[in-house]
């Protein structure tokens, strides 16, 4: 079977650190081209400054991975889907729920695969955590997701603009995990969003959710953490406590602790290949819906200006 010819659109840090190595390590794909108006591309790989130029001038591609900021992703995805090209959407899948729904309908109409790639769901501890929780009663959940924005997103102005999500850019990773592992749906009860006075998106947030059986779920998000970073999910159940740490890579349950190597993006590309070969899409918007609810219902607090 011929490999899937894929182009990476948007050659920023996430593309170079994660997407390109994952593509190189998956025999189902061959990197056909890169696209970026600012990055020079890779030696020996055709490069274009825009997706339209690639589609008009070649080389031919079967799929694109959109690693651009979410605010500009809809038009790129629609352009590719119009030509029947499969589309991988980096997280979050779009700037709004409505545009992702429109893309999903378009993909169905043309018979192309659309994949919303929640990379944290492919962290090593997530699948076994989901299986363990399926047989337990969840009593309480606590999420602490604190990191240093200057380390992970230096100089990325788009992330502070409307649609860039601010601290929900990493926070949505935690939401992608808990919407996947918790056995019951949950919804937002209250939220406080802390915005620097010079930014349009929050630098911190406190959220309170409740699942459909009444179990409370708290989430503490902060982009001002220095020193050790915190990416922890603690689930108290009738059979003891489960903890996912290091973003889901380490799972601790009453019977012991499991440590595994990172395979998030290889897992994503394995899933993308399976979807393409099977003629299916996977566009879960639950994590983005919860973020939208936080902006809809959250109380705003203004804090001191933030500067990189």
Active site residues: 91
Give the chain's radius of gyration (CA, Å).
20
Could you tell me if 288 and 93 are in contact, meaning their C-beta atoms sit under 8 angstroms apart? yes
Q: Quote the distance between the C-alpha of residue 213 and its chain's center.
A: 27
What are the b/e assignments for 197-217, b being 16+ CB within 10 Å?
eebebbbbbbbebebeeebeb
Of 14, 27, 2, the residue nearest 67 (C-alpha): 14
Query: Strands, E, within the chain: which ranges?
Result: 4-9, 29-35, 47-48, 63-66, 86-89, 114-116, 138-146, 186-196, 204-211, 216-222, 230-237, 240-245, 250-253, 256-259, 299-303
What are the b/e assignments for 50-78, b being 16+ CB within 10 Å?
ebeebbeeeeebbbbbbbbbbeebbebbe
């Amino acid at each position: 079977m011929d490999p899937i010819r894929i182009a990476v659109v948007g050659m920023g840090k996430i593309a170079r650190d994660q997407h390109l190595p994952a593509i190189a390590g998956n025999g189902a794909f061959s990197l056909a081209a890169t696209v970026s108006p600012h990055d020079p591309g890779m030696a020996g790989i055709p490069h274009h400054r825009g997706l339209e130029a690639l589609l008009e001038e070649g080389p031919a591609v079967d799929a694109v991975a959109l690693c651009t900021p979410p605010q500009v992703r809809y038009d790129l995805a629609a352009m590719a889907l119009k030509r029947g090209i499969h589309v991988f959407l980096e997280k979050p899948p779009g700037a709004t729920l409505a545009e992702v729904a429109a893309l999903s309908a378009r993909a169905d109409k043309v018979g192309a695969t659309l994949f919303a790639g929640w990379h944290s769901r492919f962290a090593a501890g997530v699948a076994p955590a989901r299986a363990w929780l399926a047989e337990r009663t969840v009593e309480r959940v606590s999420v602490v997701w604190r990191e240093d924005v200057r380390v992970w997103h230096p100089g990325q102005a788009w992330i502070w603009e409307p649609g860039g999500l601010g601290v929900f850019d990493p926070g949505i990773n935690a939401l992608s995990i808990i919407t996947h592992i918790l056995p019951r749906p949950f919804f937002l009860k209250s939220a406080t969003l802390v915005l620097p006075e010079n930014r349009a998106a929050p630098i911190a947030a406190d959220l309170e959710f409740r699942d459909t059986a009444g179990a409370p779920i708290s989430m503490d998000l902060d982009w001002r953490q220095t020193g050790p970073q915190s990416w922890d999910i603690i689930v108290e159940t009738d059979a003891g406590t489960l903890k996912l740490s290091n973003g889901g890579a380490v799972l601790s349950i009453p019977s012991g602790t499991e440590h595994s190597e990172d395979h998030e993006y290889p897992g994503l590309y394995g899933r993308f290949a399976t979807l393409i070969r099977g003629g299916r899409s996977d566009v879960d918007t639950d994590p983005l819906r919860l973020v939208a609810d936080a902006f809809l219902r959250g109380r705003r607090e203004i804090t001191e200006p933030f500067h990189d």
